Structure 1
Amino acid sequence: MGLITGYWATGTLGAAASHSLFTHLEDGATSADQLAARAGISQRGAQTLLDGLVSLGLVELRDGHYRNTAEASTFLVEGRSTCLSGFAQLKLAHMEAMAGLPDVVRAGGPLADATVEVADNPHWEELVQALAAQSAPVAEIAADTLRLADAGEISILDIGGGSGIYSAVWLERNPAARSTQADWGPINAIAYRLLAERGLADRFSRIDGDFHTTDFGTSAHDIVVYSHIAHQEGPEDNVAIFAKIRSALKPGGTLVICDYIVDDDRSGPPFPLMFAAEMLLKSKQGGTWRRADYRAWLAKAGFDDVSFQPTASPAALVFAR
């Protein structure tokens, strides 16, 4: 029953995020009446959402007063770098598409051309910022592993960087570093604006265009980032891009991949396994790939030192040299 009614959780969390309930709770609202007044919603609606959030373990009720759990405070309060409320609202809007999964499974892919994967879709403004919060903690972990704070004057290339969150986190860690993002022009413009708000735009460059055909240069970068791109590409495209990256890296440089990676026998982890359905719905060739796939592709592209690092998020890091 929990699995069959799982969409109730998506709906409750998405609705609560849409009305900033977690932010209002963090700011001192402790009852349905107070939340209703602050959020501009009905008292009945506020109580229903609170009941659902208590059920989900996101809100606690003590002595008649409601408050965020530690997890909700960290990941659902607006204005925090790790806030996933925007993503919760995004997935609420995507719920209808899942009803088409039986037909997509029969066909083996999307039934119509994906409209999201175009450069000028206004959807990107919402999507890239919603995704940034997922990547921020992992970018910090990668920075620690690479010891970026002590790396000095380095050049970073972020392929399909979206919001520019890796550039933002890494440039803040290393004041001597410079970063370039290769992505579609409208998305690069969003990233530039977000980095400018953090005072980092003077060390951030953009290469506008499709990264499949973009020239990354030769021996030009110390680190190349390929975050949450491999899952939307097929095997041949991933190998081709990895080969371009190998040429773009300086001797001794590192490719950093972040993605949802499944075990070689496809027995886990749970999130990457489930994410494969998202790719079946939205991409013609994408999927969640095994560690063995990455090893094989990277070897074909000329990388001989490959290591995997799990993180506290559903995504894993891959370091290739």
Structure 2
Amino acid sequence: MQLSIGFWSFKTLASAYELGLFARLSGTDGHTVDELARMLGVGQRPAELLVTACASIGLLELRNGRYVNSAVADEFLVPGKAYHFGGWVQMLDRRLYPAWGRLSEAVRTNRPTSWNPDEQAHLFDSEDPELLALFWEAMHSLSTLTARELAAHVELSGSAALLDVGGGSGAYDIELCRRYPHLRATVLDLPPVCEIAAEKIKAAGHADRIAVAPGDFLADPELPAGHDVVLLSMIMHDWSDEQDLAILRKCFAALPPGGQIVISELLVDEEKAGPPAAALMGLNMLVETTGGRNYTAAEYEQWLRATGFVDVRTVSFEAAGANGAVLARKP
């Protein structure tokens, strides 16, 4: 029963966020159902049903007849907060919810359903700039939270310069530079994405330490040199085995002797029976990509050793977008 009604909870969250419920409650002493109905411009009945549902799943709390945000809703679902997660919720609602409605089609055809490979070169070749902007805002939310955990579990005090391959909005670099004041970083991504990253980096006050390098890590023959650590964060699952091997070869060539590579991902267990977050994200790659999936730590280790890396090890942690990192060194 819980599995069959899982979408009820998600749509409760997505609709409340879209209506601005959490933003209106933030910083207040709470509101009654009647007050919220007027503020949201909806009827008393749907307002009551919505806030009751939100309270039941931990998004709201009822205090003396007035609804207030729960701690988790106030931290993650209010625009402007440091770890605002709303972009991810919106992207799921507008892009992936419809695509997952066609999951059986994706299984039968082995083709993505969130975009048309006959009309687009790849997932990020979007015809809808608004949806693409929403995608990158979602990735920033997810990556910021994940980078905070990665920074706490992967030691980079001995590294001076980091290359973030496919670094998106620069969320990982911002968090890592906050933890390591000596660290400098470069975000490598497509030109339009680098524009987004530059804005996020400037807003975070790190424009003097984090650079952007427009490029295509799949098509370009080589990656920028001059870095002693390469980060691959939440990008390897987008591509096939062969493409990932090609990416690793470029990373190996770009690193100096002794340089380190860090692969941060939701890792599937060796038996390929879970955990749910990694397995379901892997299935999400079926509706989102033409060849991607989530991989095991052993698969990454095999590729890294075949590429020439040594001292391969895995660090486990729990975060929104990853449950571990596979690390290795160039001899």
The aligned counterpart of 1:216 is 223
Please state whether the residue corresponding to 2:259 is helix, strand or coil: strand
The aligned counterpart of 1:242 is 248
The aligned counterpart of 2:90 is 89
The aligned counterpart of 1:73 is 74
Mind listing any 5+ residue stretches in structure 2 that lack a counterpart? none
Please state whether the residue corresponding to 2:271 is helix, strand or coil: coil
2:167 to 140, 161, 174: 161
Number of aligned residue pairs: give it: 318
CA deviation after TM superposition for structure 1 residue 151, in Å: 4.3
Query: What amino acid is the match of 2:288?
Result: K
CA deviation after TM superposition for structure 1 residue 226, in Å: 0.7
Contact 1:260 1:288 (C-alpha < 8 Å) held by counterparts: yes
Q: How does 1:41-80 map onto structure 2 within 5 Å?
A: 41-80=42-81
Please state whether the residue corresponding to 2:257 is helix, strand or coil: strand
Take 1:255 and 1:33, find their aligned partners in 2: how far apart are those partners? 55
Contact 1:23 1:77 (C-alpha < 8 Å) held by counterparts: yes
The aligned counterpart of 2:317 is 311
Take 1:283 and 1:89, find their aligned partners in 2: how far apart are those partners? 20
Take 2:153 and 2:6, find their aligned partners in 1: how far apart are those partners? 36
2:146 paired with 1:145? no
Contact 1:304 1:320 (C-alpha < 8 Å) held by counterparts: yes
CA deviation after TM superposition for structure 1 residue 284, in Å: 0.8
Of 22-31 and 93-102, deviating more is: 22-31
The aligned counterpart of 1:276 is 282
Contact 1:139 1:170 (C-alpha < 8 Å) held by counterparts: yes
CA deviation after TM superposition for structure 1 residue 41, in Å: 4.0
TM-score between the two structures when normalised by the length of structure 1 = 0.90
Take 2:315 and 2:41, find their aligned partners in 1: how far apart are those partners? 44
CA deviation after TM superposition for structure 1 residue 184, in Å: 0.6
Take 2:197 and 2:208, find their aligned partners in 1: how far apart are those partners? 13
2:101 to 96, 99, 122: 99
Take 1:147 and 1:291, find their aligned partners in 2: how far apart are those partners? 19
CA displacement 1:6-29 (0-9 Å, x = unmatched):
222221111111122123223223
Contact 1:280 1:286 (C-alpha < 8 Å) held by counterparts: yes
Contact 1:177 1:203 (C-alpha < 8 Å) held by counterparts: yes
The aligned counterpart of 2:307 is 301
CA displacement 1:132-185 (0-9 Å, x = unmatched):
22222332233233444x547x11111111111012112233344321111110
When residues 190 and 37 of structure 1 are mapped into structure 2, their CA distance, relative to the original with a 3 A threshold, is same
Take 1:232 and 1:186, find their aligned partners in 2: how far apart are those partners? 19
Contact 1:15 1:89 (C-alpha < 8 Å) held by counterparts: no
Contact 1:119 1:186 (C-alpha < 8 Å) held by counterparts: no
CA deviation after TM superposition for structure 1 residue 119, in Å: 7.1
Take 2:243 and 2:58, find their aligned partners in 1: how far apart are those partners? 41
TM-score between the two structures when normalised by the length of structure 2 = 0.88
Contact 1:10 1:91 (C-alpha < 8 Å) held by counterparts: no
CA deviation after TM superposition for structure 1 residue 186, in Å: 0.3
When residues 313 and 147 of structure 1 are mapped into structure 2, their CA distance, relative to the original with a 3 A threshold, is closer
2:120 paired with 1:118? no
CA deviation after TM superposition for structure 1 residue 99, in Å: 2.0
Take 1:119 and 1:251, find their aligned partners in 2: how far apart are those partners? 39
Please state whether the residue corresponding to 2:260 is helix, strand or coil: strand
When residues 289 and 308 of structure 1 are mapped into structure 2, their CA distance, relative to the original with a 3 A threshold, is same
Mind listing any 5+ residue stretches in structure 1 that lack a counterpart? none
CA displacement 1:284-305 (0-9 Å, x = unmatched):
1101111221111111111222
Take 2:128 and 2:197, find their aligned partners in 1: how far apart are those partners? 15
Contact 1:234 1:286 (C-alpha < 8 Å) held by counterparts: yes
The aligned counterpart of 1:133 is 141
RMSD between superposed Cα atoms in Å? 2.2
Contact 2:297 2:326 (C-alpha < 8 Å) held by counterparts: no
